[in-house]
Chains A and B, each alone.
Chain A
Amino acid sequence: MTKSLLLVGVGGQGTILVSKILSEGLLEEGYDVKMAEIHGMSQRGGSVTTQIRFGEKVYSPTVNKGDADVLVSFEKIEALRYIPMLKKNGTLIINEEEIWPLPVLAGLEEYPEGVMEEIKEKLDHIVSVDARKIAEEIGEPRSANIVMLGLMVKALGIDKIDWVSKIKHFLPERFHEANIKAFERGLSL
């Protein structure tokens, strides 16, 4: 069975790094893996999405509407934006961080209230976390993405793979300790 994951966030949150770690781990485990990213102007604060599909044999890298088994959102309204991509009864993993887009900052649009309430009312399978807060507790705010990785690994039941060595492979040594902690925190939630 091919599984489809959709990771969404804001430029700078490290969604692409998480996607890379995840894809490499899945490949090593023997899955066929395809990963697609759209990041054209993401460094300028736009939305970033990556799609990962894995299984015995995967052809297309593209995740379609209503097709994602797991939607991982690194920001609240990005979850709102991409929930239509989630399969009925699919799982949403959500970081409850708010990052205001420019039209909101400039007072042209409003950041909606009651996002979590709306999501919780509509969806059955939600894992929500304040990854930024956990990362700050660890002392490395930028490891919030790796907290999310831990959550994903747990939700997908792929915790047999040696993720720690993958994290080490993709991150400079000085970040290893904090990020391994972040991963374990995510895994334990």
Chain B
Amino acid sequence: MKKLLTGNEAIARGAYEAGCHVATAYPGTPSTEILENVSTYEEIYSEWSTNEKVAMEVAAGASIAGARSLVAMKHVGLNVAADPLYTIAYEGVNGGLVVITADEPGMHSSQNEQDNRLTAVHAKVALMEPSDSQECKDYIKKAFEISEEYDTPVLFKVTTRICHSKSPVELEDRVEVPIREYVKDTKKYIMVPAHSKIKHIQMEEERIPRLQEFSNTTELNKIEWNDRKIGIVTSGASYVHAKEVFGDTASYLKVGFSWPLPDEKFREFAAGVEKIYVIEENEPYMEKHIKAMGIECIGKEVFSVCGEINPQIIREAILGEKPEEGYSMDVIAPSRPPALCAGCPHRGIFYEMSKHKNKIHVTSDIGCYTLGAMEPLNVGDTVICMGAGISAGIGFDRVNRIAGREKKVFGVVGDSTFFHSGMTGLVDAVYNKSNMVTVILDNRITAMTGHQENPGTGKSISGVESPQIDLIALVKAIGIKDENLRVIDPYDMDANKEAVKAAIAAEEPFVIITKQPCALIKDVMKRRANLYSQVNQDKCRKCKTCLRIGCPAISMKDNVVSIDTTMCNGCEVCVQVCPFDAIESFGEEVK
């Protein structure tokens, strides 16, 4: 039976059919739906891990214990998981171990567009790149076999276009693969220098040459001979874009198994075509390798390292064809950046911080609250990566003190991000006597990636009740004193005000925990469905204070301020900031 599946759904289906037993991940666009879909198969133990490093280690442990295991993450997550990856590469596997990296050429929702094929080279792990959903499923099954046959983790690279594109997939049944016996083997699984030295030599002299041979012969690296004037070496989504442009008018070397690269196939292909173009997104990975072999080819001379590739880019780069003249409009559309939702619990504390802009710096982090840096709130000086909201704040605060700047640093982090890699930063802040303020925005969900459970929500990935990690007790255990801790409802503007004021005055590490669930959680939406606020036009003086909180439900049209009551959830932040008591609340909570 054929079904339309996204790449992510197909990967999950492939893991199921391959007899996978353990799957782990930390959510991150565009990879999130992989584990969400895997978790629907009860044959596979699935978990949201605390972060990608933990996810990788859980999967590695499961592999050593004998199970086919899978771990999924977005590209930057692989940086977090790099430590275990580089060493598990030495150890090898017992049950097959597949590591999925979902890269983001074009950065639709990421902070960089690193090309993780280069990680495979550096870590010396086998690398696979499917081109569509059917291949996602087929390759995953193959990846487990390769992992077991060659005793190596397999890095499985997909990109946004593959993860989030649907194409037809033939479904098959699951084949049960029994959990392998675990035999204690300290030389293989305990990486102390004496053992690592042997493993590294084995890797170089045995495993890699075998993988090289496999790469040269496998059908995953496939030559399609057509017209031989143009030969295209390509992989991943670039393959389907190239086929769209050239169809059968060019020959292709489609590289599906891309570390080690298939040297012999490159030579065979080069001997059979007049001119080689290498079409690959981001880094000139294959191109440099081919050129180093002494084979002439054209790649980044005509393609950019930045952004995605699409058929039009290929047409222009190789055929010199400009896009067809379309329509151009004289009226310009205003931008539509993502924004904190109506009723978002982050709004109140961000508005309060925005009033102290000349007294504070704000080191922000990855999550919905990154959007607090957008106009009109405009709160945020830095965003680097998960956890840096706290740790970068420590460094910022230290330099402010050295330079004699009278400014306080507020580090902002979400609940899931705090568990992910914020906790270690807070330990550092206490241990090294930082003077910074940590604001933990506990909205009881991992919101930005589409509502995943996390250690603070009391539920597992499959919705089963789980112990809830107590944020307040944790923060106190780390060493935050009672007088330096505020636990507040961020819908309460007086509480926000007091907390920010006390934090600015504090001379020790200070923590504010805001507690209010994400407005988009189903139960919250149900409970608050009848709540809304409205502008009393008799009292409104058009001072626009309410517009400065950046709520998408509030607008001013024809000099009349109004609130879209279908969007409004009655959070009452606007009610409290209005200096003329012109906004009134209505409705009752649904019990």
Which A residues fall within an 8 A CB radius of B? 10-11, 20, 23-24, 27, 32-47, 58-62, 64-67, 77-78, 80-81, 83-88, 100-112, 114-115, 118-119, 122-123, 141
Which B residues fall within an 8 A CB radius of A? 2, 4, 29-30, 108-109, 132, 160-161, 164-168, 240-241, 243-244, 310-312, 323-341, 368, 371, 374-376, 448, 450, 520, 544, 547-548, 550-552, 554-556, 566
Q: Across the interface, which residues of A come within 8 angstroms of B554, CB to CB?
A: 105
Question: Which B-chain residue is minimally distant from A117 (CB atoms)?
Answer: B331
User: Are the CB atoms of A80 and B164 closer together than 8 Å?
Assistant: no
What's the Cα separation between A60 and B325 when bound, in Å?
21
29 A-B pairs, CB-CB below 8 angstroms?
A: A10-B336, A23-B4, A23-B166, A27-B168, A32-B168, A33-B166, A34-B132, A34-B165, A35-B4, A38-B164, A39-B164, A43-B520, A46-B337, A46-B338, A60-B310, A62-B311, A65-B326, A81-B336, A84-B328, A88-B325, A101-B334, A102-B337, A103-B335, A104-B555, A105-B551, A108-B376, A111-B334, A112-B333, A123-B327
Which of B312, B326, B336 has the most C-beta atoms of chain A within 10 angstroms of its own C-beta?
B336
User: Are the CB atoms of B338 and A44 closer together than 8 Å?
Assistant: yes
What's the Cα separation between A4 and B326 when bound, in Å?
14
CB distance from B532 to the nearest CB of A (A): 16
User: Are the CB atoms of A80 and B331 closer together than 8 Å?
Assistant: yes
User: Are the CB atoms of A34 and B329 closer together than 8 Å?
Assistant: no
CB distance from B492 to the nearest CB of A (A): 23
Would A66 and B324 be within 8 Å (CB), given that A38-B108, A105-B554 are in contact? yes
Q: Across the interface, which residues of A come within 8 angstroms of B330, CB to CB?
A: 118
What's the Cα separation between A101 and B330 when bound, in Å?
19
Would A103 and B334 be within 8 Å (CB), given that A38-B164, A60-B243, A62-B161 are in contact? yes
Other contacts beyond A20-B166, A42-B338: 20, CB < 8 A: A40-B30, A45-B336, A60-B243, A61-B161, A61-B165, A62-B161, A62-B241, A62-B311, A64-B310, A65-B323, A83-B326, A85-B326, A88-B325, A101-B335, A102-B339, A102-B375, A103-B335, A104-B334, A105-B547, A105-B554
What's the Cα separation between A27 and B133 when bound, in Å?
14
User: Are the CB atoms of A112 and B336 closer together than 8 Å?
Assistant: no
What's the Cα separation between A33 and B30 when bound, in Å?
21
User: Are the CB atoms of A60 and B241 closer together than 8 Å?
Assistant: yes
User: Are the CB atoms of A62 and B164 closer together than 8 Å?
Assistant: no
CB distance from A94 to the nearest CB of B (A): 13
Question: Which B-chain residue is minimally distant from A51 (CB atoms)?
Answer: B165
User: Are the CB atoms of B341 and A44 closer together than 8 Å?
Assistant: yes
Q: Across the interface, which residues of B come within 8 angstroms of A46, CB to CB?
A: 336-339
CB distance from B569 to the nearest CB of A (A): 14
